[in-house]
Amino acid sequence: MYDVIILGAGPTGLAAGIQLALFRLNTLILEASDKVGGIAIRARGIRNYPGFMNASGARLMERMLSQAEKAGVEIRTSEEITKLSLQEKEKVVETFNASYSCRALILATGIGMKGLNIKGESWIGGGVAYCAECIPQSFQGNDIVVVGSVAEAVQEALYLAKIAKRVRLVNHKNLISINEETKRRLERDGVQLIEDFVVEEIRGKPPIKLLLSRHVDNLKVKKLKTNVAFIIGGVKPFVFILKKAGIKTHRLGCILVDGFGNTNIEGVFAAGGCTSTVKDTIPVCVGDGAHVATCVRLYLKYTKDYR
C-alpha cells in the first residue's frame, strides 16, 4: 500500500514524485518502458528550462531521476499496466508483474494520441498538433492541414473548419472510409478533401509548415503549405484501459480534468501531456506535475481515510 502511485516516469511524473516525497508521502512511480524520461530524452538543445542552458533532454531527465531517487521515490520500469480498479477508496493498479494499491493515483502517461510515423512529425509541437478541442485558440484564423488515418479525422476537420481560415483533409494512404454523404458535408463546411496521397515528410518551422505528399499510384508529389499540420492517427492502447476503468477522456485520448488535476473519479488525478497537448514542453509538464502533487497532498490531508 502506497500513499500515491504515479503512472509515467516522464518530466511530469518525476516532478510530481519529487514533490510528494518532500511531503513525506510514500510514493511509487510505474513506467511501462524500460527507460525513465519519456519522449523528453529525445530532445536536444533545450533552451527554455530555467537554470539549464542548452541542456539535452537525456541529461535533464537523468538529473531528475537522481533527485527523485534521493528524495525517496520508488521507481519501477518495465511495468506495463494491464488493469485499473478505481471505484473504491483504495485504488488498485495491476501490471504484468504485480498488483499495487494506493490512496491516490496520478496519471502522467503523456500524450494519448498516436502519430503516423511521418518524417518530421513531432510530439513536442512546433506546428504539429493532435487535439483540436484542447487548445482551440491556437487554430483560430489559421490554415490547417489535417492528416488522418482514422474516422475521427473527419470530425476534427469539421470542427476546425468553424474556427480556422482554411482546412484541408488528407486521407493518409486512403485509410479512412469516406462515403458520398460525408464528402458532401465536408464540401458544404468548406473542408477540401485530398485523397490518393500519402504524406511522407513534414518540414519547416511555424508559422509555415510544408507537407510533402506522394500520389499512391503515379508517384506525383504534392506540396502543401500550412500553419499547422494536424495529425489524427487514433489513440494509444493505454487510453482504452483508462476508459474501461471509468476515466472520462476526450474522444482522441486527452484525460478530462479540472483546475486541480481531478478526474471524474475521486482520488484519481492527471497531469501533463495526457490532459492536453498544450502541455507539450518540459517546463510546462514539470510545473503541472508539481502543481497536481500539491493538490494530491491536500486531498489526502483532508480525506477521512488519510493516516
The full set of domains in the chain, from first to last, is 2-112+235-302 (3.50.50.60), 128-232 (3.50.50.60)
* Alpha helices (runs of H) in 2-143, residue ranges in sequence order: 11-22, 57-71
Q: What is the pLDDT of residue 307?
A: 46
- The pair phi, psi for residue 31, each rounded to 5°, is -120, 130
Residues of the chain with pLDDT > 70, as a percent, come to: 95
Report whether 105 contacts 93 (CB < 8 A). yes
- What does the pLDDT look like over 136-152, one tens digit per residue? 777 889 999 999 998 88
At 18 the pLDDT is 98
Q: Name residue 20's amino acid.
A: L
- Nearest partner of 210 among 228, 196, 191, judged by Cα: 228
Dihedral (C-alpha) 166, 189, 202, 282: value to the nearest 10 degrees? 90
pLDDT in tens, 192-232: 999 999 999 999 988 899 999 999 998 899 999 999 999 99
Please check the confidence at residue 285 and state whether its pLDDT lies above 50. yes
- The secondary structure of residue 279, as a DSSP letter, is -
pLDDT (0 to 100) of residue 125: 58
**Nearest alpha carbon to residue 170 among 124, 117, 223:** 223
Q: Measuring CA to CA, how many Å separate 100 from each of 88, 106, 116?
A: 14, 13, 34
Cβ–Cβ under 8 Å, residues 202 and 118: yes
d(CA 291, CA 277): 17
What is the predicted pLDDT for the residue at 133? Answer: 66
